[in-house]
């Protein structure tokens, strides 16, 4: 536990050294596979992967301006759902360098949606897609907060002025979607892409690079899309 806390504060320190960012940026951090992260085969274990993904999110929170608010319990980000995938066998070995990229793909009134990918020598070997909700504590009880309202408030005292613009305009992170992967794929609707391209029949996981909405298919919440994703992933596994 002490070692983990030391790693948390180390990444918090690294986040302080890096420039402040907004939700429309890509957050990137690097590390090396430690002895504590290994499995019996000498590669990074699933527990180790989840641990370094979490450390990368701590660093992201520092750069974004939320870490100290969470530490002071002003706001509590809670992981409400996630899908983890590590189909690649070339996971990091002891002391091998890896890079984690974290991207906020969308936000609705209840949740923030993140995608993290871990790469070794330029190849993505593991990824996680997650939904984060936010709580505040009042008189010993946790109260759910609307994510969009919270980030609009956070704008006034953190480096997220760009995000308020997207929230207030009603397009959320449209700019990021345009910049990152919002390319119309032959005019195929999002749901059809989800059915035929997003599910990997080999392991039943979703390739979220296929799930980014194009400018003509930005209606509906990301929550609905995650539910649809889960449905098709389940069907792929059953079949």
Query: Alpha-carbon Rg of the chain, whole angstroms?
Result: 18
Do 16 and 121 belong to one domain?
Answer: yes
Do 7 and 95 belong to one domain?
Answer: yes
Do 54 and 14 belong to one domain?
Answer: yes
- 175 found inside a domain: no
Q: Which is it for the CA torsion 176, 150, 157, 12, positive or negative?
A: negative
pLDDT bucket at 150, cuts 50 / 70 / 90: low
Q: From CA 153, how far away is CA 164, in angstroms rounded?
A: 8
**Residue 72 sits in a domain of what CATH number?**
3.10.129.10
CA 232 → CA 34, 200, 201, 204, 206, distances in Å?
36, 10, 10, 9, 9
Could you report the per-residue pLDDT of 56-92, keeping only the tens digit for each? Answer: 999 998 988 887 777 777 778 888 778 888 876 789 9
Q: From CA 171, how far away is CA 19, in angstroms rounded?
A: 26
Q: From CA 159, how far away is CA 157, in angstroms rounded?
A: 7
Q: Which one-letter DSSP state was computed for residue 36?
A: G
Could you tell me the pTM of the whole model? Answer: 0.65
Domain that includes residue 129, residue range: 2-160
Collapsing DSSP to helix, strand or coil, 137 comes out as strand
- 176 found inside a domain: no
Mean pLDDT for the stretch of residues 164-174: 39
Alpha helices in 83-181 (DSSP H): 147-154, 161-169, 174-180
Mean pLDDT for the stretch of residues 103-125: 84
- 218 found inside a domain: yes
Report the range out of 18-27, 97-106, 178-187, 217-226 with the highest average pLDDT: 97-106
């Amino acid at each position: 536990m002490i070692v983990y806390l030391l790693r948390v504060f180390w990444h918090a320190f690294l986040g302080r050294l890096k420039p402040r960012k907004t939700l429309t940026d890509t957050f990137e951090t690097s590390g090396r596979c430690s002895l504590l992260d290994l499995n019996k085969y000498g590669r990074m274990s699933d527990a180790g992967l989840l641990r370094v993904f979490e450390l990368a999110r701590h660093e992201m929170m520092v750069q974004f301006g939320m870490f100290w608010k969470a530490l002071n319990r002003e706001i509590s980000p809670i992981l409400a759902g996630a899908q983890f995938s590590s189909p690649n066998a070339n996971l990091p070995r002891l002391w091998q360098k890896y890079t984690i990229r974290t991207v906020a793909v969308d936000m609705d009134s209840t949740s923030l949606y993140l995608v993290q990918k871990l790469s070794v020598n330029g190849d993505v070997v593991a990824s996680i897609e997650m939904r984060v909700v936010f709580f505040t504590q009042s008189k010993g009880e946790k109260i759910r907060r609307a994510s969009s309202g919270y980030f609009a408030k956070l704008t006034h005292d953190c480096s997220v002025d760009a995000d308020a613009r997207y929230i207030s305009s009603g397009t959320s992170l449209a700019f990021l979607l345009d910049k990152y992967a919002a390319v119309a794929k032959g005019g195929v609707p999002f749901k059809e892409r989800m059915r035929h391209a997003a599910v990997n029949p080999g392991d039943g996981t979703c390739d979220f690079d296929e799930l980014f909405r194009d400018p003509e298919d930005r209606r509906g919440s990301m929550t609905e899309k995650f539910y649809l994703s889960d449905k098709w992933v389940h069907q792929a596994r059953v079949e």
